[in-house]
């Protein structure tokens, strides 16, 4: 069972910002600004012994001076004083503390001593700690945002179903910016740094029980505790897909890790074994991480290999057929009933087949009727739809068609669209409505394969 104190990271009643700075250029100021300007409805307590007020809020000399119980504290003071203020948080029994400060085990020497001291401080109470050396949390629902990166430089994504857990703040935050641009919704973002206390697996457990999250994308350098991970990860992946990008697979990357978060990268072969054993889906690179996460967050698992492909661009149908075969998937054989229904949809100058070419003059209505004809065919396990928007007859209505169809179909649907601005706008609209949109047949087929692999995992017999 997850520690209820972890709830304070995501939806705190109030927040103390320790090191809230008067200086607009400083990290503690940026964090304070986020809370003040966001839709955060809890009380905000800046803590800074050198200031009377910060952004118009009364400043406290210490967290101990706050009369109220404190739910969440964010620490952005220099390493020389960080443990002192954390000790005060433990004394006050603050539920959770996010420590942005760097200078712990990742720097070796003094940093290791500081980390040991931190362990001893935490052992004295029940306060839970995220970090140190992290960006902390962004929560799409509560308005918690400890990312010190201003929103004019780093867009925040819309509310959505994918959670991100990252050991690298830089990786996680820049991909948030990228996802925001793509219209991809995120539920919670957690940068956990050195994981001195709260571990990757605890965060995954919390997210499994989170109603807003349907899949988790993880960037990991080193697991906190191998045995704990193996023991628990399986129970998580059975209920929620976990997709992982493992960093530090080779010697050069491993060395870089020790000075980044101080983790042990471990043998990549061992990790691969752990992933197989626990149902964690490995993504080979950053694009794949979110290609899989989107498909898995929006769709049920794929229960078989038989895929229907529907397009208004013949060449894209052919490329998708090839891409599916590359992934070990296959084109579905349509039933006679389906073929008869499709004969009324495809114009006389086209043919009924799979891939189903609706011809370059297809409009949204033709897509709708074609999808309707495929809907009840038991020989189809999932559909890839490729509505190319360049021809005149196909307009924005096709987005509604696809969104509505996915809602009622109950089996996986992914889409592929290739093009520039006009196309990207529609891809964004699909994503905002929870329909995965990929820019190439190969990516769409590989996302379908991720759904297949997840289906194999959840329906396995052991």
Nearer to ligand COA, 29 or 128 (CB): 29
How far is residue 402 from each of residues 135, 318, 372, 398, measured CA to CA in Å?
Answer: 37, 21, 11, 6
Stretch that binds ligand COA, among 14-22, 158-166, 284-292, 416-424 (CB under 6 A): 14-22
Stretch that binds ligand COA, among 41-49, 65-73, 151-159, 287-295 (CB under 6 A): 41-49
Subset of residues 386 to 405 that bind ligand COA, contact rule: CB under 6 A: none
Which residue sits closest to ligand COA, CB atoms considered?
169
**Phi, psi for 324 (deg, rounded to 5):** -65, -45
Helix (H, G, I), strand (E, B) or coil at 214: coil
Is residue 23 at the binding interface for ligand COA, with CB under 6 A as the rule? Answer: yes
Stretch that binds ligand COA, among 49-57, 112-120, 208-216, 290-298 (CB under 6 A): 49-57
Is the CA virtual torsion 280, 282, 286, 287 positive or negative? negative
Cβ atoms 364, 398 nearer than 8 A:
yes
Q: Of 36, 81, 318, 403, which lies in the binding site for ligand COA, with binding defined by CB under 6 A?
A: 81
x-marked contacts with ligand COA along 127-166 as a string, rule CB under 6 A: ------xxx-------------------------------
H-only helix segments in 183-280: 200-208, 226-237, 251-258, 268-278
H-only helix segments in 327-420: 336-343, 364-375, 397-409
Q: Of 4, 37, 49, 284, which lies in the binding site for ligand COA, with binding defined by CB under 6 A?
A: 49
Minimum CB separation of residue 60 from ligand COA in Å reads 9
CA end-to-end span of the chain: 24
Q: Which residues contact 1 (CB under 8 A, 6 or more apart)?
A: none
Length of the chain counted residue by residue:
462
Q: Cα(376)–Cα(379) distance, rounded to whole angstroms?
A: 9
Minimum CB separation of residue 130 from ligand COA in Å reads 12
Stretch that binds ligand COA, among 74-82, 114-122, 252-260, 360-368 (CB under 6 A): 74-82
Helix (H, G, I), strand (E, B) or coil at 94: coil
Is residue 101 at the binding interface for ligand COA, with CB under 6 A as the rule? Answer: yes
Q: Of 44, 51, 178, 458, which lies in the binding site for ligand COA, with binding defined by CB under 6 A?
A: 51
Is residue 47 at the binding interface for ligand COA, with CB under 6 A as the rule? Answer: yes
Q: Of 85, 215, 321, 383, which lies in the binding site for ligand COA, with binding defined by CB under 6 A?
A: 85
Is residue 50 at the binding interface for ligand COA, with CB under 6 A as the rule? Answer: yes
Minimum CB separation of residue 16 from ligand COA in Å reads 10
Q: Of 76, 194, 263, 327, which lies in the binding site for ligand COA, with binding defined by CB under 6 A?
A: 76
Q: Which of 55, 130, 56 is nearest to 86 (CA)?
A: 130
Nearer to ligand COA, 19 or 183 (CB): 19
Q: Which two tokens stand for residue 315?
A: 């060449």
* Omega within 30 of 0 (cis) for the link into 40: no
Q: Of 14, 83, 102, 299, which lies in the binding site for ligand COA, with binding defined by CB under 6 A?
A: 102
Stretch that binds ligand COA, among 76-84, 215-223, 299-307, 413-421 (CB under 6 A): 76-84
Helix (H, G, I), strand (E, B) or coil at 267: coil
Q: Buried (b) or exposed (e) across 306-316, using 16+ Cβ within 10 A? A: bbbbbbbbeeb
Is residue 77 at the binding interface for ligand COA, with CB under 6 A as the rule? Answer: yes
Is residue 26 at the binding interface for ligand COA, with CB under 6 A as the rule? Answer: yes
Q: Which residues contact 24 (CB under 8 A, 6 or more apart)?
A: none
Burial class (CB in 10 A: 0-12, 13-18, 19+), 459: exposed
Q: Which two tokens stand for residue 388?
A: 């190319």
Q: Of 14, 21, 213, 320, which lies in the binding site for ligand COA, with binding defined by CB under 6 A?
A: 21
Is residue 90 at the binding interface for ligand COA, with CB under 6 A as the rule? Answer: no
Kindly list the residues in this chain that would bind ligand COA in the complex (CB under 6 A).
18-19, 21-23, 26-28, 47-51, 76-79, 81, 85, 100-103, 133-135, 169, 191
């Amino acid at each position: 069972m997850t520690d209820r104190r972890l709830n304070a990271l995501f939806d705190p009643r109030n927040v103390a910002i320790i090191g809230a700075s008067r200086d607009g250029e400083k990290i503690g100021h940026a964090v304070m600004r986020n809370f003040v300007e966001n839709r955060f409805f809890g009380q905000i307590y800046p803590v800074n012994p050198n200031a009377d007020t910060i952004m118009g809020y009364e400043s406290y000399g210490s967290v101990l001076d706050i009369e109220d119980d404190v739910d969440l504290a964010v620490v952005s003071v220099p390493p020389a004083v960080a443990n002192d203020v954390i000790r005060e948080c433990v004394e006050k029994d603050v539920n959770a503390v996010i420590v942005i400060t760097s200078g712990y085990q990742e720097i070796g020497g003094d940093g290791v001593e500081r980390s040991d001291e931190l362990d001893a401080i935490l052992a004295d109470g029940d306060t839970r700690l995220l970090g140190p050396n992290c960006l902390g949390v962004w929560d799409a629902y509560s308005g918690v945002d400890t990312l010190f990166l201003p929103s004019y430089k780093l867009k925040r994504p819309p509310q959505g179903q994918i959670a991100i857990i990252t050991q690298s703040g830089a990786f996680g935050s820049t991909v948030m910016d990228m996802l925001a641009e793509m219209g991809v919704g995120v539920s919670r973002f957690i940068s956990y740094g050195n994981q001195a206390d709260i571990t990757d697996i605890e965060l995954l457990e919390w997210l499994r029980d989170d109603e807003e999250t349907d899949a988790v994308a993880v960037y990991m350098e080193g697991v906190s505790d191998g045995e704990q991970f193996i023991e628990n990860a399986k129970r998580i992946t059975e209920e929620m897909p976990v997709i992982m990008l493992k960093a530090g697979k080779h010697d050069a990357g491993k060395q870089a890790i020790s000075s980044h978060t101080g983790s042990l990268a471990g043998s990549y072969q061992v990790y691969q074994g752990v992933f197989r054993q626990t149902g964690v889906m490995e993504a080979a690179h950053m694009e794949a991480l979110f290609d899989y996460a989107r498909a898995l967050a929006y769709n049920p698992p794929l229960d078989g290999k038989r895929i229907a492909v529907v397009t208004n661009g013949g060449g894209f149908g052919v490329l998708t057929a090839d891409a599916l075969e590359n992934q070990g998937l296959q084109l579905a054989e349509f039933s006679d009933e389906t073929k008869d229904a499709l004969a009324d949809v495809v114009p006389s100058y086209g043919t009924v087949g799979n891939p189903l070419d609706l011809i370059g003059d297809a409009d949204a209505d033709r897509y709708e009727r074609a999808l309707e004809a495929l809907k009840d065919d038991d020989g189809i396990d999932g559909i890839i739809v490729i509505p190319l928007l360049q021809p005149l007859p196909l307009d924005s209505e096709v987005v509604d068609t696809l969104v509505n169809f996915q809602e009622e179909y109950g089996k996986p649907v992914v889409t592929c669209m290739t093009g520039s601005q006009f196309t990207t706008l529609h891809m964004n609209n699909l994503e905002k409505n929870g329909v995965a949109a990929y820019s190439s047949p190969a990516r769409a087929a590989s996302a379908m394969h991720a759904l297949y692999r997840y289906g194999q995992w959840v329906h396995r017999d052991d």
